[in-house]
Amino acid sequence: MIIIALVLFLVFAALSVIHFYWAFGGKWASRAVVPTNSYGEPLFIPRVISTLIVAIGLMCFGLSYLIKYGFIGISLPEWFDKYGFWIIIFIFILRAIGDFNYVGFFKKHRNSEFALKDTKYYSPLCLLIGVLTLLVVFCN
């Protein structure tokens, strides 16, 4: 389980770094990570503050695995140790399933750049995070 925890930390750290990069003005891959409508228009424009919140949240998720397995010498709050990893599982499995329209494995709109990358990379990664976190919960 320690290997899985380290892998999950690295995944969350990488995702967090990418979000910090975008929050501070980076443009690499930024067009391919926002769902678009049939006309190629983004469904939303990510704001700096929301991107920073996501970056911080992802880093906190990653650090929680290191804390759980003693790599960081503090303890998780009891409520997080009991429910927090279930929250992570819920968030990422729901993200993988999607909204049945633009995001996730069961989306209707499948031809945009985002949709193609979502099917190939983003949704499988979310499912993998959810399943690996489930292993962390049950095998600990």
Task: Give the Cβ contact number of residue 5 at 10 Å.
Answer: 23
3-class SS at 36?
strand
Alpha carbon separation from 138 to 1, 62, 85 (Å, rounded):
10, 18, 11
Beta-bridge mates of residue 36: 42
Q: How confident is the model at residue 31 (pLDDT cuts 50, 70, 90)?
A: confident
Average pLDDT, the chain: 95
What does the alpha-carbon distance between residue 116 and residue 32 come to, in Å, rounded to a whole number?
9
Residues 90, 61 contacting (CB under 8 angstroms): no
Number of domains in the chain: 1
What does the alpha-carbon distance between residue 116 and residue 110 come to, in Å, rounded to a whole number?
6
pTM over 0.85: yes
Q: How confident is the model at residue 22 (pLDDT cuts 50, 70, 90)?
A: very high
Q: How confident is the model at residue 29 (pLDDT cuts 50, 70, 90)?
A: confident
Cβ-Cβ contacts under 8 Å for 60 (sequence gap 6 or more): none
Domain of residue 70: give its range: 1-139
Q: How confident is the model at residue 91 (pLDDT cuts 50, 70, 90)?
A: very high
What's the pLDDT tens digit per position in 47-77? 999 999 999 999 999 999 999 999 999 988 8
What's CA 38's distance to the chain center, in Å?
25
What's the pLDDT tens digit per position in 101-140? 999 999 999 999 999 999 999 999 999 999 999 999 999 7
Alpha carbon separation from 54 to 20, 41, 83, 116 (Å, rounded):
9, 22, 20, 22
